[in-house]
Structure 1
Amino acid sequence: MEPVTLSTERLRLRPFEQRDAEAVFAACQDAEIARWTTVPYPYARKHAEDFVVNIGPAGWRDGTLYTFGVFTPDGTLVGSTGLVNTARLYTPDRTAELGYWTAGGQRGRGYTVEAARAVVDWAFTSLGAERLEWYAHVGNEPSRAVARRLGFVMEGVHRARTVHRGERRDDWSASLLPSDWGRSGRTPYTATPPPP
């Protein structure tokens, strides 16, 4: 897919570029990013360079990962948000996973919700997504708060779903459907009523 740029009232979302490597490196030194995400640990400059020069562009080109750097108008890196496992968008599933992280000094300003809302809107309108998924390690309350503000419906706990830093972790899961945003999908959906 050809990379795209999205804009919100306060932010610009664009694919990462080589010039962003230093800012990504600095942001990923944050202990909370290391604690809750899959970024390598310890995070070295080579990881940032590989991410912005190779991994990000390859994801866009191959249709497997659509990652946006989130920036203020003056070019300050706020964080990253995007869609992973996007190959499923091109199957009858029409599903992808939303992910995000926020730089330490930028938290608490609503930037992550604002940026993620733009990505969700793009996924539903331009990509035809019919289900977005969200996962986070149990205990990652800030990430769950963002997902809830976006309208994600919590679905449960997946025991031992991921291996993080050599240890199995339980993950929360949630989903967001176009109908949760007052939109319709291509494939009809009838919700299963809860058991009596």
Structure 2
Amino acid sequence: MTSMTKTNEYQQPIGEPVSEWKARERPARIGIDGKHCRLEPVDVERHAADLFEAYGKASDGSDWTYLFVGPFTEFDAFRDYLTKAAASTDPLHYTVIDSTSGRAVGTLALMRIEPAHGVIEVGSVTFSPLLKQTRISTEAQYLLMRYAFDDLGYRRYEWKCDSLNAPSRKTALRLGFEFEGIFRQAIVYKGRNRDTAWYAIIDRDWPRIRSAFERWLADDNFDANGKQRASLAQLRDAIGN
């Protein structure tokens, strides 16, 4: 406890005041444009066939292991799932559209939305082989973060995953999320236990993270073969705190 700690009339330590705070708006069913992709609210008629085909390019069902649904081998079952996803407001699912091909190549969602506290989570990240490890996948994450922080004014942006999901945990750190801990026995899904790893970005860290995204996505950060010159982590470190 430092001398800067706030105290109340009972000399108890209390949190910093959040001046003139007002509940934020809920995310809307709107399109969000980037340079390499566009995020659109999930639309079954427009997106289902593309998504099913894109997911079908995976060699097996391992991409669905840590998701609450799937894998899907039949289109009708996938369409039923996507119909429910499209009707949901929390999670609010967005489709990632490749700007070059115009095809739907994955989805992600804003969820556990708490406007009163300015807290929101990105989840249900379901990227096809056409999307993984591409500039589009990074831009899609950036666009949704920017929407939450800059357009809606949220204070906290969360990422949660099965603690055993090493790729998801690695991705969270790459994108600039800070690890906050493990919630043991937090969820039962697909007939098994999940210890949940928690990560977050808060508003005071966002300007540095946003700048790193913008520098990473710039054309001059990639050579003639499309290989990055500097990683997101390197760019964040260069910007500093």
Instruction: Determine if the TM-score, normalized by the shorter chain, exceeds 0.5.
Output: yes
CA RMSD of aligned residues (A): 2.2
Match of 2:94 among 58, 65, 68: 68
Distance 1:168 1:128, change over 3 A: same
Tell me how far 1:26 sits from its aligned partner.
3.9
Which shows bigger deviation, 43-52 or 32-41? 43-52
Tell me how far 1:41 sits from its aligned partner.
4.7
Number of aligned residue pairs: give it.
Answer: 176
Tell me how far 1:143 sits from its aligned partner.
1.9
Q: Which amino acid aligns with 1:11?
A: C
1:130 equivalent in structure 2? 155
2:186 match: secondary structure: strand
Equivalents in 1 of 2:88, 2:205: separation in Å? 31
Equivalents in 2 of 1:121, 1:72: separation in Å? 19
Match of 2:110 among 55, 69, 83: 83
CA contact (8 A) 2:50 2:104 kept: yes
TM-score (norm 1): 0.78
**Which has the higher Rg, Structure 1 or Structure 2?**
2
Distance 1:102 1:11, change over 3 A: same
Alignment of 1:2-151 (within 5 A): 2-17=28-43, 18-28=45-55, 30=58, 31-42=61-72, 44-59=74-89, 64-73=90-99, 74-86=101-113, 88-89=114-115, 91=116, 93-99=117-123, 100-151=125-176
2:222 equivalent in structure 1? none
Equivalents in 2 of 1:10, 1:79: separation in Å? 14
TM-score (norm 2): 0.65
CA contact (8 A) 1:78 1:111 kept: no
Percent identity between matched residues is 25
2:171 match: secondary structure: helix
CA contact (8 A) 2:38 2:98 kept: yes
2:164 match: secondary structure: coil
Equivalents in 2 of 1:150, 1:169: separation in Å? 23
Match of 1:165 among 185, 190, 215: 190
Q: Which amino acid aligns with 1:33?
A: D
Tell me how far 1:163 sits from its aligned partner.
1.5
Q: Which amino acid aligns with 1:23?
A: D
Structure 1: which 5+ runs fail to align?
Answer: 184-196
